[in-house]
Amino acid sequence: MDLSRVEGQRLVAVIGALFVHGSDAPELSHVWLRLESVTLLVRVAADWTLRIEPDEPEESYTMPEWDSRVDVVPASDGVPFVRHVGERLVRVVEWFDVEDHDELMEAEFVFDTGSVVAWSFGGDLHLAGGHERVLGGGDPAR
């Protein structure tokens, strides 16, 4: 997907898929970013690459044979995208594998007041707040 098409749209909501196994703590496995005109799914694929694609949130489901479930719920404040709800998505910067230029490994979502970095490591989705800035001040690029 050409992510430049979503630049300038406001982030309306953030939805997360939490994988829960037995009594273990939930792990965030997918994030849906609901923008004004499209919802983007941010996830790690089976080949461990980061995927960003248009998609709607799925329903929660259980896997009783593995004592597991996936809860699809509004994302908690611990998900860095949540602090940017209501802000404009200024741009998305993507980084690809140096050996295979088709494999997306990291993306920085730049908003009005800061950014969120999403990356794949060890087959898991990782998120972190990036550069924080005052509206109109400075370039958040690395």
Could you give the CA distance from residue 128 to residue 24 in angstroms, rounded to a whole number?
22
120: its two tokens: 């794949």
> 102-108 long-range CB contacts below 8 Å, 24 or more apart?
103/47, 103/49, 104/49, 104/50, 104/51, 104/52, 105/49, 105/50, 106/50, 107/42, 107/50, 107/52, 108/140, 108/142
More confident site: 138 or 117: 117
Is the predicted pLDDT of residue 141 greater than 60, yes or no? no
Q: What is the pLDDT of residue 139?
A: 36
* Of the candidates 115, 112, 116, 117, the residue with the CA atom closest to the CA atom of residue 134: 112
H or E stretch at 126 = strand 124-132
pLDDT, the chain, mean? 89
Residue ranges of domains in the chain: 3-129
Is the predicted pLDDT of residue 12 greater than 60, yes or no? yes
Q: What is the mean pLDDT of residues 36-50?
A: 94
Q: What is the pLDDT of residue 23?
A: 84
Is the predicted pLDDT of residue 104 greater than 90, yes or no? no
Q: What is the pLDDT of residue 130?
A: 75
